[in-house]
Copies of this chain bind each other. A is one copy, B any other.
Amino acid sequence: MSKYVSLTEEEKAYLDSKIVLRKYLKGQYLVQQGDICKYECYVVSGCTKTSYVDDLGQEHIIMFSIEDWWTSDMASFINQSPADFNIQFLENTELIAISHDVIEDLYKHVPKLERFFRQVVEKAFIASQKRVVRNLSMTAKDRYLFFKEQYPEIEQRIPQYMVASYLGITKEFLSKIKSQLIMDQ
């Protein structure tokens, strides 16, 4: 955080006393669709998948979070209402987890954090809007190339069908794109 807001030693100590380091195993969930999302989380190590399961039981992958990303079902976290998304751990994962009560308390005691979290949300919102634009404007091949840039080395960490789901294409079409890219080289 100190990259974005300058905190006094006292503020740092207060923050340290309030945030919690949590560890999850691969396969566990931070939140499941319909439950309340308890934490806003910073990924220290590991990987999460945010997805939506539609009425036909099909899963749509909205985003991944890796090291140095934030993750939560924000609507659920802020309003303490049922979550729209599942957030599952794709690897054993270490998080800094901030609960709803704690974040409100932090805003009261360390008002500078309002600025920090405003910037976190701004970035998330921009990323979400840019994803809409990419889906409207880029070919699947270009979306795949962008994906590799945005999540470097994540492909070695997660199954291909998840990459395909995130890109909104079939696994078979993704293989075809990858063969094409190898041939292009």
Which residues of A are interface residues toward B (Cβ below 8 A)? 52, 54-55, 60, 62, 74-75, 78, 84-85, 107, 111, 114-115, 117-118, 121-122, 124-126, 128-130, 132-133, 136-137
Q: Report the Cα distance A107→B85, complex, angstroms.
A: 33
Residues from chain B with Cβ under 8 Å of A129 in the complex: 62, 74-75, 84-85, 128
Chain B residue at minimal CB-CB distance from A59: B136
With A62-B132, A126-B75, A130-B75 as given contacts, are A114 and B121 in contact (CB-CB < 8 Å)?
A: no
How many copies of this chain does the complex contain?
2
Given contacts A74-B122, A118-B117, A125-B125, are A52 and B84 in contact (CB under 8 A)? no
Determine if A54 and B114 form an interchain contact, defined as CB atoms under 8 angstroms apart. Answer: no
| A162 to B: closest C-beta gap in Å | 16
A128 touches B130 (CB 8 A): no
Enumerate chain B residues within 8 angstroms of A124, measured Cβ to Cβ.
125
Query: Given contacts A114-B118, A117-B118, are A133 and B52 in contact (CB under 8 A)?
Result: yes
In contact, A78 and B132 (Cβ under 8 angstroms): no
Check if A122 sits within 8 Å of B84, measured CB to CB. no
CB distance from A166 to the nearest CB of B (A): 12
Could you jot down 20 A-B contacts, CB within 8 Å?
A55-B137, A62-B129, A62-B132, A74-B126, A74-B129, A75-B129, A78-B126, A84-B130, A85-B133, A107-B115, A111-B111, A114-B114, A114-B115, A117-B118, A118-B118, A121-B122, A121-B125, A128-B129, A128-B132, A132-B132
